[in-house]
Amino acid sequence: MSAKEGLFSRLRKTRESLSSGLASIFSSSPKISEGVYEEIEDQLIMADLGVQTTQTILSELRKKAVQSRIESSDELLSVLKSVILDLLQYSEATEQSTDGKKPFVILMVGVNGVGKTTTMAKMANQYRNSGNRVLLAACDTFRAAAIEQLQSWGQRLDIPVIAQSHGADAAAVAFDAYSAAQARDMDYLLIDSAGRQHTHGDLMDQLQKLKRVLGRVDENAPHEVLLTVDAGNGQNVISQVENFNKAIPLTGLCVTKLDGTARGGVVISLADRFKLPIRYIGVGEGVDDLRPFIAEDFVDALLPELSES
């Protein structure tokens, strides 16, 4: 199975919801009418694109349809694809450049249970498999089982983990881990952190402290602050991005659990609203179920094929 076919099957739930809705609009109304636009609008909102992004897409779609004198629903679908592709292009993650920074430090942040630790382990595995030396830091010292969870990933993948005891100061663990990464000539240092709600002031302060402490040893560290969001949370992820970005400026996003949800349209909304690079998408629990975000493949996996319409 090619990577593209694999993506098709993993995004099945969102695809089924969005594609079948759109395909039935296009087949039942071969000529464009106001009703067709309204139905497209409803479908996009139901697929969790959010009101704002849906409006942006609809106004662009209308404009282009007039400019290109489009009359059939068939052609409208192809314009819809290109409008969505244009939005996604903002977030297509170009290869993340470590640019000679060593260790390249990546800090994982996000609310509870979204998949930070799992995504970090998957990333570590990819970096290591492409020939890098990788170190993990267990800076979720808040949740009781978090350290063991990361250590067991480390054992499984044969990647070293720096940890202290439960309740230790997360910034101190990060500092230790940075020194270890330097001493051991590591290419990457990946730092796990405790899940937190933006309303949890202490934990949000802790993140800022962690960044400050790292900044003392390397003014550019962390080089990447990745917010992981669970696609199944739908439009709630929008406020997660806004709130985390206020506390600690984000450099990119990871969107997980796209395999288990019909709400994958939220990716389009994230690209439109924030224009942050989407570094990875999570499409399963396995260590290999992490993909780069390729806008064209994503659109092809979610929207009906042109010949279907």
Ligand X SMILES: Nc1nc2c(ncn2[C@@H]2O[C@H](COP(=O)(O)OP(=O)(O)OP(=O)(O)O)[C@@H](O)[C@H]2O)c(=O)[nH]1
Q: What order do you get walking across the sheet with 134-139 strand by strand?
A: 161-162, 134-139, 188-193, 104-109, 224-230, 252-256, 278-282, 290-291
Written as one letter, the residue type at 295 is A
Scanning 131-139, 160-168, 215-223, 251-259 for contacts with ligand X by CB under 6 A, the matching segment is 251-259
Per CB under 6 A, does 150 bind ligand X? Answer: no
Secondary structure class of 13 (helix, strand, coil): helix
Neighbours of 51 (CB within 10 A): 12
Nearest residue to ligand X, using CB?
195
Residue 119 or 269: the one with the smaller Cβ distance to Mg ion is 119
Q: If binding is defined by CB under 6 A, does position 304 make contact with ligand X? A: no
How far, in Å, CA of 128 to CA of 78, rounded? 40
- One-letter amino acid at 95 equals E
Q: Looking at beta carbons only, is 59 or 155 nearer to Mg ion?
A: 155
114 binds ligand X (CB under 6 A): yes
Return phi, psi of residue 64, to 5°: -70, -35
Q: Which does 222 bind (CB under 5 to 8 A by kind): ligand X, Mg ion, none?
A: none
Q: For Mg ion, give the closer residue by CB, 194 or 267.
A: 194
Name which of residues 80 to 109 contact ligand X (CB under 6 A): none
* Residue 117: closest CA among 183, 53, 191, 175: 191
Binding of residue 232 to ligand X (CB under 6 A) = no
State yes or no: residue 282 binds ligand X (CB under 6 A). yes
| Residue 119 interacts with Mg ion (CB under 5 A): yes or no | no
Rounded distance between C-alpha atoms, residue 109 and residue 27, angstroms: 44
Site for ligand X contains 110 (CB under 6 A): yes
Q: Is residue 187 within 8 Å of residue 132, measured between CB atoms?
A: yes
117 binds Mg ion (CB under 5 A): yes
- Segment near ligand X (CB under 6 A); pick from 130-138, 139-147, 203-211, 216-224: 139-147
- Which residues lie near ligand X (CB under 6 A)? 110, 112-118, 140, 143, 146, 195, 256-257, 259-260, 282-285, 289
